[in-house]
Amino acid sequence: MSRKSRIPLYRGLTTTMLSLVVAFSAGYAIADTWRSTVDKVLGTKSFVTDTTNIKYKSTYKTADQLIAAAKALSIQEGAEGTVIMRNTGSVLPLKKTAKVGVWGTAGYNPYMVAAGNSDQVKLVPALKAAGISVDSTLEAIYTQLATHSTTTQSGWSTVTTYDYGPNFSAGDYNEQGYQIVEADPDTDFVAGGNADANWKSSVSDDVAIVVFARPGGEGTTYHPGIARDKAGNTLNQNPLAFSPEELKTVAAAKSTAKKVVVLLNTSCAFEVGPLIKDGSAYQVDGLAYIGIPNDYQFTGIVQALVGDVNPSGALADTYAYSSTANPAMMANARLSLWNFIFAMKMVRKKCLAATLPSASPKRVPFKWPIFMMGKLLILGSIRSR
C-alpha cells in the first residue's frame, strides 16, 4: 500500500478515535454529575471505603490534633527557613524591650502562600505576640495606605491590587515590565496614609524592620532592565533591584531608628548591593531572607529574629550585586510563543531544503531538525532582545 493510499485510512482512524475520546469524556462528566441518582436507581455504590485493612494509620486521634501539629510544623519551618544574611552591631537578636518600627507595605501585607485561615498570623501580630512594642504611628499610616486597593475575581482566586504596594502581579517576561509599587514616605504618607505633615517627629524607634517583597514562582520571570515605578515610568534597572521609593523607605527608616533590619519577602535573589556596601547611604545593620510564608510561619520567623530559636537557614542561591552579572543571563531571553512558531517554521523550511550525503532527498536524519531547532531558538532569543 502506497503512502498516498494510506492517507484516507489515517484520516478515518484519527476522526474515529477523536470522536470516541470526546464521547467518553462527555459521558464520564454526565455520569459523574448524576452519580448519586444512578446509584439510587440501580442500587449500586460508586465508592466503597474499606476500614478493615488500613495500610497507613494516622497517629492523631482527632482532626484538632492534626491541625495543631500542622501549625506547629509551619512555625518550625518559619524559624528554620529564616536566613540571617547580615548582622552587624549585634542588631539581632532583637531585644524584647526594644521599640520596633515596621516599614514597607509588605510589612503589613506580605507576599504569602496563604490559605486565608481565620487565625492567620502576619508580621506585626507576630511581633506583638512575642512581646515586642510596635510603633503605632507607622502602623496607622501603613494600615490606612492598604485601604487604597481594588479586589477582583480572577478564575477561582480573589486578587487584591494595592495602590501603594506591594505589587504581587509579575507576568512571565512581561513586555511592559514589572511595576515596583512602594509607598514614598515623603509624599504618600500624607496623601494616602492620612499622616500629619510632621509625622516623622512622632517616630523614634530602637530598631526599624523594613520589608520588601517580590512575587516569584512558575510563570513569574523577570526580564532584565524593564522595571517600572508605581507611576509606570521606566526605571532603566532590573526588577530585582530596589526602586527609588524602596531606597527612600530605607533612608527614612535610618533617620528615625538607631538600627535597621531589612527582611526579604521573596523566593527571588534581590540585588542587595546598596544595603551592604560600605559607605552606602542605604547600608543597613541587619539583613534576613524570610521567603514566602504561609498562614503561621511569621510566628517562627519572629522566633528567629528575637533569638528564641537559633537561625539555621541557608541560601540556595547566590546573591549578586547585579543579577545580570551572572553569565547565564546571556542566554536569558523572551522566548514567546511567536518566537517559537517562527523557529518551527524555519526548521521546517531548512529541513525540506536540506540535502545531505547520508540521506535521500525525501528523508532527513532526525538529528538535523533537533540541531536546527536549537540553533534557531538561540537566534530567536537574540531577535527578541
For residues 287 and 170, what is the distance between their CA atoms, to the nearest angstrom?
Answer: 24
pLDDT value of residue 174: 66
For residues 186 and 156, what is the distance between their CA atoms, to the nearest angstrom?
Answer: 38
For residues 286 and 275, what is the distance between their CA atoms, to the nearest angstrom?
Answer: 9
Give 104-146 as a DSSP string.
SGGGTS--------TT---HHHHHHHTTPEEPHHHHHHHHHHT
What's the 3-state SS for 244-310? HHHHHHHHHHHHHEEEEEEEEEECCCCCCHHHHCCCCCCCCCEEEECCCCCCCHHHHHHHHHHCCCC
Distances in Å between the Cα of 145 and the Cα atoms of 186, 189, 266 are 14, 8, 21
Torsions phi, psi of 251, nearest 5?
Answer: -65, -40
Evaluate whether 339 touches 383 at the Cβ level (below 8 Å): yes
Evaluate whether 155 touches 141 at the Cβ level (below 8 Å): no
For residues 195 and 214, what is the distance between their CA atoms, to the nearest angstrom?
Answer: 26
Q: Which of 168, 165, 138 is nearest to 149 (CA)?
A: 165
pLDDT value of residue 331: 65
Evaluate whether 245 touches 229 at the Cβ level (below 8 Å): yes
The DSSP bridge pattern shows strands 257-266 and 286-289 to be: parallel
For residues 305 and 298, what is the distance between their CA atoms, to the nearest angstrom?
Answer: 10
Give 326-361 as a DSSP string.
SGGGGG-----HHHHHHHHHHHHHHHHH---TTS-T
Q: What is the pTM of this model?
A: 0.75
Evaluate whether 193 touches 141 at the Cβ level (below 8 Å): yes
Give 213-235 as a DSSP string.
EE--BTTB-PPTT--B-TTS-B-
Residue with cell 466503597: 48
pLDDT value of residue 250: 98
Evaluate whether 82 touches 94 at the Cβ level (below 8 Å): no
C-alpha dihedral (181, 185, 189, 195), degrees to nearest 10: 160
Which residues are 142's β-sheet partners? none
Evaluate whether 165 touches 106 at the Cβ level (below 8 Å): yes
Evaluate whether 261 touches 311 at the Cβ level (below 8 Å): no
The contacts of residue 235 (CB under 8 Å, 6+ apart) are 180, 227, 228, 229, 243, 244
The ranges of the chain with pLDDT < 50 are: 355-356, 359-364, 366-368, 376, 380-385
pLDDT value of residue 385: 44
Q: Which of 105, 116, 217 is nearest to 167 (CA)?
A: 105
pLDDT value of residue 361: 47
The contacts of residue 9 (CB under 8 Å, 6+ apart) are none
Evaluate whether 231 touches 178 at the Cβ level (below 8 Å): no
The contacts of residue 188 (CB under 8 Å, 6+ apart) are 145, 164
